């Protein structure tokens, strides 16, 4: 960590968004993570993405569990709401908050330990319930805070820094999410913001559960030559299946790309996902095709990245439960708590 605060001075010609804010207005406190940590790059991508799609900082809720990754919400959008919860319990807190106020944008920030080990059950049920949130996994394959032990996402072929072999196969969170019914599943790499940023924007605009599994090298414990989660390995084995451009509502769509490879997907809020397929065999709207694409790459030691699966139906928990459209904090007390007579009447119906 650095001893000095990040200077408040900024480039005088920095671009401003529709709210008049620059990306520097979406920053948080100075990161205390290791120098070169992939998590800081993901943080930077989040900062720039939120700025570029003109999100009001105070309409965002950042929720996290425990771990290096879960410290990260401190380092972006300091004006946003935040909840640093218990290890692996970020989905429960996010579910509660989302049910109470559906108007905020929920950014869940978690790690491979927080999600694939202690929080696997919580993760599975948030996916299954199709909670409307962006679930970001900063995935480095190890427990950085406790000296780099293997996590459940570490590849079997990837030994520890000291050379100890990893005896177990990894949990592939993307495959798991697709199987459990997630609507938006993408994988990216902290070292490739050009890919990551549009995916973040699209995930935020997607109405439903959106998983972003971002490979994020741990420079201290898992960036050695034999690691499959290091900068060098991922760069050399990154197989992008498609390229996503996010087109906000107000921007007119110009058909300038070659037809056939490009498909526009209209999201429920009017914005558009422009999908440029780089692998003709991969159909991101077909779960089987997506699972096959991921598995075939993994078998070759490659990492499939990009938008892996997209369910255009955009289902979310509020629709399933038929909850009120208004946030609870916007309801008058008389509606929130109609009184003893009303309760008695309801109880009477069940007698």
Partner 1 sequence: MMQKAEMARTVDAFSPARSRDGTPPTDTSDPQYFHKVVDCQYACPAHTPVPEYIRLIAQRRYADAYMLNWESNVFPGILGRVCDRPCEPACRRGRIEEKPVAICRLKRVAADNKGDVTERLPRVPFQKNGKRVALLGAGPASLTVARDLLPLGYHCVLFEKDPVGGGLMRSNIPAFRLPAKVLDEEVDLIYGLGVEKRFGEAVTSLKAVIDEGFDAVFVGTGAPKGKDLNVPGRAEADANVHIGIDFLTSVAFEHVDSIGKRVVVIGGGNTAMDCCRTALRLGAEKVMVTVRSPRKDMKASDWEIEDAEREGVPVLDNHNPAEFLVENGRLVGVRFDKMRAEYGADGRRKLIPTGESVVIECDDVLMAIGQDNAFPWIERDIGVEFDEWGMPAVDRTTFASTRPGVFFGGDAAWGPENIIWAVAHGHQAAISIDKHCRGEPITERPAPGANLVSQKMGIHEWSYSNDYDNGRRVPVPHADQVTALRNIKVEVELGYDEVLALKEAERCLNCDVQTVFEQPKCIECDACVDICPVDCITFTDNAPEPELRQMLRTPAENLEQPLYVSSDLPTGRVMVKDEDVCLHCGLCAERCPTGAWDMSKFMYVERQAAPVCQRHLDAYLD
Stretch that binds partner 1, among 54-62, 105-113, 191-199, 205-213 (CB under 8 A): 191-199
Q: How far is the CB of 212 from partner 1 (least distance, A)?
A: 16
Q: Can you tell me which of 190, 222, 228, 272 binds partner 1, judged by CB under 8 A? A: 190
Q: Can you tell me which of 21, 26, 28, 40 binds partner 1, judged by CB under 8 A? A: 40
Which lies closer to partner 1 via its Cβ, residue 253 or residue 331?
253
Stretch that binds partner 1, among 57-65, 111-119, 235-243, 266-274 (CB under 8 A): 235-243
Q: Cβ(92)–Cβ(127) under 8 Å?
A: no
Q: Can you tell me which of 70, 238, 271, 272 binds partner 1, judged by CB under 8 A? A: 238
With tokens 């300091």, the residue in question is: 78
- Contacting partner 1 within 194-233 (CB under 8 A): 194-195, 217, 219, 223, 231-232
Stretch that binds partner 1, among 87-95, 109-117, 189-197, 332-340 (CB under 8 A): 189-197
Q: How far is the CB of 291 from partner 1 (least distance, A)?
A: 22
Q: How far is the CB of 98 from partner 1 (least distance, A)?
A: 29
Stretch that binds partner 1, among 13-21, 94-102, 151-159, 309-317 (CB under 8 A): 13-21
Rounded Cα distance between 231 and 169, Å, is: 21
Which lies closer to partner 1 via its Cβ, residue 73 or residue 208?
73
250: left (phi over 0), alpha (psi -120 to 50) or beta: alpha
Q: How far is the CB of 319 from partner 1 (least distance, A)?
A: 33
Which lies closer to partner 1 via its Cβ, residue 207 or residue 223?
223
Answer yes or no whether residue 43 interacts with partner 1 by CB under 8 A.
Answer: yes
Which lies closer to partner 1 via its Cβ, residue 75 or residue 123?
75
Answer yes or no whether residue 136 interacts with partner 1 by CB under 8 A.
Answer: no
- Contacting partner 1 within 265-294 (CB under 8 A): 278
Answer yes or no whether residue 342 interacts with partner 1 by CB under 8 A.
Answer: no
Q: How far is the CB of 233 from partner 1 (least distance, A)?
A: 11
Using a CB cutoff of 8 Å and minimum separation of 24, what contacts does 41-44 make?
41/190, 41/191, 41/193, 41/216, 42/72, 42/136, 42/138, 42/190, 42/196, 42/214, 42/216, 43/72, 43/75, 43/76, 44/193
Answer yes or no whether residue 7 interacts with partner 1 by CB under 8 A.
Answer: yes
Which lies closer to partner 1 via its Cβ, residue 75 or residue 309?
75
Q: Can you tell me which of 18, 29, 35, 345 binds partner 1, judged by CB under 8 A? A: 35
What is the binding site for partner 1 (CB under 8 A)? 1-15, 24, 31, 34-38, 40-41, 43-44, 190-195, 217, 219, 223, 231-232, 235-238, 240, 243, 278
């Amino acid at each position: 960590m650095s001893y000095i605060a990040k200077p408040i001075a900024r480039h005088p010609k920095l671009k401003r968004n529709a709210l008049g804010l620059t990306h520097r207005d979406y920053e948080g406190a100075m990161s205390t993570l290791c120098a070169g940590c992939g998590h800081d790059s993901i943080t930077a991508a989040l900062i720039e993405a939120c700025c570029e799609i003109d999100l009001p900082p105070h309409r965002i809720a950042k929720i996290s569990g425990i771990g290096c990754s879960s410290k990260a919400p401190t380092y972006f959008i300091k004006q946003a709401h935040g909840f640093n919860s218990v290890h692996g319990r970020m989905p429960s807190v996010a579910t509660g908050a989302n049910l109470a106020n559906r108007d905020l944008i929920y950014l869940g920030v978690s790690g491979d330990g927080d999600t694939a080990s202690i929080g696997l059950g919580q993760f599975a049920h948030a996916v299954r319930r199709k909670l409307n949130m962006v679930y970001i996994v900063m995935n480095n394959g190890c427990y950085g805070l406790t000296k780099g032990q293997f996590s459940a996402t570490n590849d079997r072929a990837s030994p520890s820094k000291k050379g100890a072999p990893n005896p177990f196969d990894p949990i592939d969170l993307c495959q798991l999410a697709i199987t459990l019914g997630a609507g938006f599943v993408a994988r990216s790499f902290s070292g490739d913001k050009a890919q990551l940023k549009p995916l973040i924007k699209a995930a935020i605009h997607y109405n439903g559960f959106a998983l972003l599994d971002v490979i994020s090298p741990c420079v201290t414990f898992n960036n050695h030559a034999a690691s499959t989660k290091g900068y060098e390995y991922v760069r050399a084995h990154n197989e992008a299946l498609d390229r996503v451009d996010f087109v906000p509502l107000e921007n007119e769509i110009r058909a300038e790309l070659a037809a056939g490879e490009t498909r526009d997907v209209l999201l429920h809020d009017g914005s558009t996902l422009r999908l440029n397929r780089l692998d003709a065999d991969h159909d991101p709207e077909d779960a089987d095709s997506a699972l096959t694409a991921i598995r075939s790459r993994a078998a070759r030691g490659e990492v499939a990245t990009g938008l892996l699966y997209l369910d255009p139906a955009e289902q979310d928990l509020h629709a399933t439960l038929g909850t009120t459209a208004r946030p609870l904090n916007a309801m008058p007390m008389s509606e929130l708590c109609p009184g003893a007579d009303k309760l008695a009447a309801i109880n009477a119906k069940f007698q």
